[in-house]
Amino acid sequence: MSALLKRLDAHAPALWLEVTPPRGISVESLLARLAAVRGSVDAINLADNALGRVKLAPLVFGSMIKSRLGMAVVINFSCRDRNRYALKADLLGAGALGIDGVVALAGDKLAADPAGARPVHDLNPFSLLSVMDDLRRGDTGEGRRRLKTLPQFALGAVANPNRQALEREFELLERKALAGAEFVITQPVFDAAVARAFIARARRHKLRVVLGILPVKRESMAGYLKERIPDLSTAHSHFDRYAGLSEEQARRMSIDLSLALMRELAGEAAGFNIMSGGGPSLAIELALEFSRSLEDAGAR
């Protein structure tokens, strides 16, 4: 079993920080920020051109985190942008670099592109998980040619506990587990009952649940999430709490609410994936506060 999975199976919940790689090739500022959470965060989870916006390749940035910070790295692989050959090549690269976990996802929908860019979707998350699993067993899909050195990454998928048609989400979750998923990262959750119901169903398929936690930076961010993100339609009452708050008030309330939720679910979730919506500063602040609370409780 990989070290990443062993950490997810530990008594105390694992703590991951999800960040987006830089827009260009200047990496020092973000690496310096991530260095501040070394020893407090168990893994850095890297997005893959989230929202269809081009960033530095997560495989490249992940290798820098591994070599310069010595932190575990989980990389999202989107079916949207690459065909199966490009995905296999990048997965082999992840294995060679010692990337700790890989996550199969469809990828956000692309906005209209004047250059005519179109999504690829040669594979879907289920077939991509199968490819990941095959590579770990040495099967490249090229007949008798088998890998001599095998990738050791853990396999992950994504899910949305907030979905209104929740039974459909559980059907998809079962298919992902059958395709090889060992852990699942959720969309952000804001309600303990929603999270518990999802964890109970995921455990039936022996999936470790890493709950998404999204701190809200300001009132305008809460409005955007409410109006523009259909996947979070069941969480509208949470976003309404930020109406009329200053940015300082919103940040403090978001950290307090997130900490309370994480503490309540710490004995049930395998881990928490703190998302850096609107920039990493608030997510880093939350991660450090939660890590200190685990140390104070003697759980880390």
10 Å Cβ neighbour count for 259?
Answer: 16
Mean pLDDT for 55-82 is 96
**pLDDT score, position 294:** 86
Beta-bridge partners for 46: 19, 75
Confidence band for 49, pLDDT divided at 50, 70 and 90:
confident
The two structure tokens encoding residue 254: 């978001």
Instruction: Find the DSSP H helices in 65-113.
Output: 84-97
Q: Cβ-count burial of 159 within 10 angstroms (0-12 exposed, 13-18 middle, 19+ buried)?
A: buried
Q: What is the mean pLDDT of the chain?
A: 93
Q: Which helix (H) or strand (E) holds 184?
A: strand 183-188
The partner residues of 186 in beta bridges, in order of sequence, read 159
Paired with 105 in beta bridges are 78
Q: Which residue has the higher pLDDT, 300 or 147?
A: 147
**What is the value of pTM for the model shown?**
0.95
Cα–Cα distance for residue pair 153/158, rounded to 1 Å: 16
Residue 66: C-alpha distances to residues 58, 61, 82 (Å): 12, 9, 24
What are the pLDDT digits (tens) for 106-156? 987 766 666 677 889 999 999 999 999 999 999 998 876 789 899 999 999
The domains of the chain are located at 3-296
Give the tens place of pLDDT for each residue, 220-256: 999 999 998 888 988 999 999 999 999 999 999 999 9
48, 77 in Cβ contact below 8 A? yes
Q: Give me the phi and psi of 279, to 5 degrees please.
A: 110, 160
Mean predicted confidence (pLDDT) in 62-84 = 97
At residue 110, φ and ψ (nearest 5 deg) are -85, 140
Q: What is the pLDDT of residue 113?
A: 67
Look at residue 141 in the predicted model and tell me its pLDDT. Answer: 87
The pLDDT score that the predictor gives to residue 114 is: 61
Q: What CATH number should be reported for the domain whose range is 3-296?
A: 3.20.20.220
In the DSSP assignment, the letter for residue 21 is P
Cα angle: 110, vertex 59, 139; to 5 degrees: 95
Mean pLDDT to the nearest integer, 41-66: 92
**Looking at per-residue confidence, does 277 or 181 come out higher?**
181
Span 89-112, average pLDDT:
91
Distance CA 219, CA 238 (A): 12
